[in-house]
Amino acid sequence: MKHRKLLLCLPLLALLAGCAEKNIYSDLNAQAVREYQEPVRPASEGRNPCWNGFAKKFMYAPAFDIASVEGAEKYRFTVSQKEGEGSWNFISTCACADLSPIWKDIVPGHVKLTVEALDASGKVLATVYEREFVRDFPFEGPYSEPVRDYREAAIKGALYIHMLPAIQHWTEATTPDMSYHHNTYPCKIIGATIRNECFIARELPHRRENALAVARGAAQFLIDMSHPEGHPLAFFPPTYYLDLEASKRDWNQGKTMTLEAAKAGDAFLDLYDLTGEKAWMDRAVGIARTYVRLQREDGSLPIKIDFETAEPVNNVSAMLHPLLRYFQRLRGYGLTEFIPAQEKAEKWMDEVAVETFDMTGQFEDVNVNGLQPYQNLTNCTAAPYASYLLDKESVSEKDLANARDLIRLSEDQFVHWAYPDLTEDGFPKKNAPCVHEQYHYEMPVDNSACNVANAWLDYYEVTGDLLSLAKAKAMGDQMTIQQNAVNGMLPTTWEWRDSKRDRNRTFWANCSFSTETFLMRLAGMEEDLKKLKK
């Protein structure tokens, strides 16, 4: 376990002492039930508006934005199954009460909430609120065990990428083989290719020479596509390459997502770690210095800019977790020049994004302009920022509380431990446990599973919470199950596919690299995982 300085006393540790029973999952499941009774950052706390207007499912007892009715003395909350098989109700004096009085009793599935305003005698004055949603399945471990060793799964996943013809192409070229069409995203995909090859070179020394040749060819392409020193976007590679996929959409033409360059920077740092060659560090530092020049006085950055002028193309600010983690990594090399920019960025995230709880999705293939607040929430913002807060050398009480809220939001809205809907053949269309990516893409994605599972592990390492460890393990075990046992491919989406569609299995190299990294993390936690076998 990592040893970090935690600036508070944790009553949680006393609770966890009771988990050393013969059947530890009985205790962990009971703990999960208790925790699901607590609403996630309800508006009634006064910190943020009601964030769940676009939510379709809940794992934690929800509370809604319901206005009081003049003359009403109390409110009756009734939750009924859509099929009419069950009904639960309670009465509260508050129109914005959460559903905790009945939450643990509601059978998972599609339900309808009706809220009625009552006078002093109990007469119904009006129906003030109606809403349908899924009362989601709670965590109920243990889940399926891994089908192969975590390290073996990670290595096989990396080798699948390494041996692809489009990847080996880099040994003889410095432009991408577009038969792998996701190469249209240079920072994200080609950056991940470099990182994958550095991983191969470290873990499989007999492949080092070949892997390094791939990495160097791919890195040279990023350098060739980057702006030179002195340009407003010095050292930044572009977000888009050629007219494929999202790059052909007119709102992306000539534009770049500001934070994408940090992914290329991480790739250059991996090359520096592997080779010790200063040129890679210099390029990574150059990218960071450009970020400092782009940063606004309040610590924010625009989400999208013109790739030539660096002028913002809309009024949307970027979620800064990728940049913060990049600055933090550079700090680990003893570089202190980016600390002021890092502190300003963290202040903006805490005071704007976390305080409003609008952890919006910002993907290079989704138009973010014109979104309403909370319209496209995602774990891909919430969980990684939780990890950033938990990975600080000194984790304050505020950091821990914010991280916990962000992790709970991620589980509440995007984790599925099971599904209520089955195909006509009697099985789910998607494979659980899993994590959906965002409201605008309700699909289980391996990178999303990594985001949330990593945050759980970070929370465990700070607090000792075995339930978080158990949840992370369940996701990691599922990664080994979803892996193609024949060729090692780690598929990006975890859904059932017929044979025809499976020939074009969804596969993104950056997502696969995230899975490899997470599995290797689990592989190094053997002693911790033994605690779940008591």
Residue 522: count of CB within 10 angstroms of its CB: 25
Smallest CA-to-CA distance from 307 within 354, 365, 253 is with 253
Count CA within 13 A, CB hemisphere, residue 393: 4
**Predicted local distance difference test score (pLDDT) of residue 8:** 44
| Model pLDDT for residues 188-236, shown as the tens digit of each residue | 999 999 999 999 999 999 999 999 999 999 999 999 999 999 999 999 9
The strand pairing partners of 188, in sequence order, are: none
**Predicted local distance difference test score (pLDDT) of residue 364:** 66
pLDDT bucket at 363, cuts 50 / 70 / 90: confident
Smallest CA-to-CA distance from 420 within 211, 137, 50 is with 137
Buried b (16+ CB within 10 A) or exposed e, 212-237: bbbbbbbbebbbebbbeeeebbbbbb
| Model pLDDT for residues 436-475, shown as the tens digit of each residue | 999 999 999 999 999 999 999 999 999 999 999 999 999 9
Compute the distance between CA of residue 416 and CA of residue 139 in angstroms, rounded to an integer: 9
**Predicted local distance difference test score (pLDDT) of residue 7:** 46
- Between residues 15 and 239, which one has the greater pLDDT? 239
| Model pLDDT for residues 387-413, shown as the tens digit of each residue | 999 999 999 999 999 999 999 999 999
Residue given tokens 């990574």 in the structure block: 284
- Between residues 23 and 365, which one has the greater pLDDT? 23
| Model pLDDT for residues 16-67, shown as the tens digit of each residue | 444 443 589 999 999 999 999 999 999 999 999 999 999 999 999 999 999 9
Rg over CA atoms, the chain: 24
**Predicted local distance difference test score (pLDDT) of residue 475:** 98
The answer to whether the pTM exceeds 0.85 is yes
Compute the distance between CA of residue 61 and CA of residue 104 in angstroms, rounded to an integer: 8
Instruction: Copy the structure tokens of residue 356.
Output: 């409003």
The one-letter amino acid at 350:
D
| Model pLDDT for residues 51-61, shown as the tens digit of each residue | 999 999 999 99
pLDDT bucket at 82, cuts 50 / 70 / 90: confident
Q: Which domains does the chain have, with CATH numbers?
A: 1-35+407-534 (no CATH), 39-135 (2.60.40)
